[in-house]
Amino acid sequence: MHLEASASSTVLETRARVKACVRAFFSARDVLEVDTPALSLAATPDPAIDSIEARLRLFGNRTWYLHTSPEYAMKRLLVGHARDIYQISRVFRDGELGRWHQPEFLLLEWYRRGLTEIELIDEVEALLVAVMRECGRELESVRITYREAFVRALDIDPLGDLATLPGRLSRCGIDVPAGLTRDGLLDLALSAVVVQSFAPDVVTFVHDYPASQAALAVIKNETPPVAARFEAFVGGLELANGFKELTDPAEQRRRFETELDARRRAGRTVPPLDEAFLAALATGLPPCAGVALGLDRLVALAAGLDNLAAALPFSHRL
């Protein structure tokens, strides 16, 4: 693998314009820009994400990890501080390289006290409108529940019986691997069929995910229960992932341990949990909503590019 110069002069100017617009947007809303460390003794337990390891001679060659998101550290800052915060952070993920993936990229992440995930969608929408207009483009948006998206695309209720889903996917030309879990089957259907049906020039906000896919979100007391989670897509491209944040340390630990068990059963690395983050939750994370948005992907959209590498000053290539 090597680094290769990618972005044109015009794209570099677009990158600068996008970041300046983001900072102006949050400054106008009195949201404080912060910085958190890229190195941590803990790593994400998420079975779908692999951290990059680093060894520091200074600390006896102990294994550290480059963060995959600044989320845990940012939430620690929220405990005991009265300001809403945001960060433009370089993050790192192993095993990710493709049209819309790089092993290092910019993530815009922010947290707003007292908001629900639906109210945060309003702010994400406002930011996207501001950035695209700054770059001479207009972008419409629509909202749909996870359930409605599946019904429209596959005529199936993803919160109900999934017995007919493998057959429907097969008829769409999708190979369905044997032994998929329920969530694995839903993820395959979402990525291969559902989001591919979204309009390519519209931001589609999908909300009310299955409770089993809550990650770090609270569960809404509905029938059936759903996660206070949303994602934003432009066509089939995921742009952002947000939650009304879980504040219960015991429930968060239980979810982390479930994810670690899934990694263990799959024969994957089982990293240490972020005990400092869990301790901060026990101290008291204020009710809030947060979202992570791929900033390089936003630059690509603003510049009219069809791949991530062209939006970066330097990109990783095999």
pLDDT tens digits for range 26-80: 999 999 999 999 999 999 999 999 999 998 888 788 899 999 999 999 999 999 8
Q: How far apart are CA 284 and CA 110, in angstroms?
A: 18
The span from the CA of 260 to the CA of 80, in Å, is 29
CA distance 175 to 226: 28
Share of the chain above pLDDT 70, in %: 99
How far, in Å, CA of 127 to CA of 69, rounded? 20
Q: Token pair for residue 31?
A: 């949201």
CA distance 94 to 117: 29
Which pLDDT score, from 0 to 100, does residue 50 have? 93
Nearest to 117 by CA among 220, 235, 48, 221: 220
Residue 168 confidence (pLDDT) above 90: yes
Check pLDDT > 70 for residue 272. yes
Confidence of residue 1 (pLDDT cuts 50, 70, 90): low
Given this model, what pLDDT does residue 80 score? Answer: 83
Determine if the pTM surpasses 0.85.
yes
Would you say 298 and 17 are in contact if contact means Cβ atoms under 8 Å apart? no
pLDDT at residue 19 in the model = 98
Alpha-carbon separation of residue 286 from 77, 215, 256 (angstroms)? 11, 18, 20
pLDDT of residue 2: 67
Find the Cα–Cα–Cα–Cα dihedral 22, 24, 29, 33, rounded to 10°: 70
Q: Lowest mean pLDDT: which of 26-30, 58-62, 240-244, 307-311?
A: 58-62
Spatial CB neighbours of 58, under 8 Å, sequence gap ≥ 6: none
Quote the pLDDT of residue 307.
95
Q: Which CATH architecture has domain 2-139+201-317?
A: 2-Layer Sandwich (3.30)
Q: Which residues contact 275 (CB under 8 A, 6 or more apart)?
A: 42
Q: Which SS3 state, helix, strand or coil, does residue 88 take?
A: strand
Contact yes or no for 211/221 (Cβ under 8 A): no
Q: Is the sign of the CA dihedral 127, 186, 68, 40 positive or negative?
A: positive
Provide the H-helix boundaries in the chain.
Answer: 9-28, 71-78, 117-134, 146-154, 165-171, 182-189, 249-265, 275-284, 295-303
